[in-house]
Amino acid sequence: MSLNSPSAQFYVCQVRDTEGSTRFEAIYWRNLNDRKKELIEDYKGAYSAYREAKKEGMEAVKPRKPAIRTIGGKIKGKSKAEAIASRFQEKWDAKYNKGKKAETEQVAKEG
């Protein structure tokens, strides 16, 4: 079955990476475990780099453990799932990234 097929099933997932940023993605249901493994591998690499930096006495930020959470059940159609994910992302950004946007704009004006 093609991923662009209207009957292909997707999960809308909330994904947090090692930097702590959160985004919403439409993930094909068979690729969900692969995406989880990918996040874990990214974390392992980031954590080993963090440990090395600490051993050398450099200041480093400890990476956050990644998380992936499905929202609701399977959704038929990639475009529908992506539309839902983008709506969740907009709501998330409006609620949690307001201060970050203001800081970024202020730094841009000063610089």
Q: How many domains does the chain have?
A: 1
Q: How far apart are the first and last CA of the chain?
A: 51
Give tens-digit pLDDT for 33-74: 999 999 999 999 999 999 999 999 888 899 999 999 999 899
- Domain presence at residue 4: no
Q: Over the chain, what is the mean pLDDT?
A: 88
- Residues 66 and 18 sit within 8 Å (Cβ to Cβ): yes
- Domain presence at residue 32: yes
- Domain presence at residue 50: yes
Q: What three-state secondary structure class fits 1?
A: coil
Residue 106: give the domain boundaries.
9-110
- Domain presence at residue 103: yes
Query: pTM, whole model, 2 decimals?
Result: 0.78
- Domain presence at residue 62: yes
Reference 63, options 53, 55, 76, 77; nearest CA is 53
pLDDT at 111 over 50: no
- Domain presence at residue 3: no
